[in-house]
Amino acid sequence: MYTGIEWTLGNALTAASLGMQVVSAVSRGSQQESMANYQAAQANADAQAEREVAQVNADKIRKATKSQQSSARSALAASGVVADAGTPLTIQGDIINRGEGDALTELLTGVRKGQRLDAEASGLRASGSNAKAQGYAGAAGSLLATGARLGSKYGGGTSYPRGNNPDEWDS
């Protein structure tokens, strides 16, 4: 049985070591969580930037389409063709349709890149949360392992030297 006399420098060092292991495990988990959350915030910011770039590019495509349509209309009018009927009207419609298709493709690309980055951010946050949980689990494991070592050292084990009869056991 533990009487207090057994508390030696070795036990003090064991306790100090345990304290450092616990603090280190919890701190490491918290640091990993913080880093993962930072990276997740960066991924979210990148996602938003991708969507914004796509919107700007789509607007540029639409502007270029209008310019191309105007140029075609002017060229047709300069050659004496009526630009608001028949084939010239069809050509202008094709220009608008292709331009809008390109603009929508650009937007879709930005949205998909944004979604991929948002998903990456979610994964990073989950990874950080898992790292924090592992830190706490590591701390608990250190506590249990040290407790088991000290328990077995100071009477944690039970011996039955005289057989199976409880009346004969050491008290």
Average pLDDT over residues 43-57: 95
- Position 165 scores a pLDDT of 60
3-state DSSP helix/strand/coil percent for the chain, to nearest 5?
Answer: 80, 0, 20
Token couple for 68 = 């191309």
Cβ count within 10 A of residue 117: 21
* Contact of 25 with 135, CB cutoff 8 Å: yes
Token couple for 14 = 């064991």
Mean pLDDT for all residues in the chain: 83
Dist CA 93 CA 22 (whole Å): 71
Helix (H) or strand (E) holding 47: helix 9-78
- Residues 81-99: pLDDT tens digits? 777 778 878 888 898 999 9
Token couple for 96 = 């608008």
- Position 84 scores a pLDDT of 77
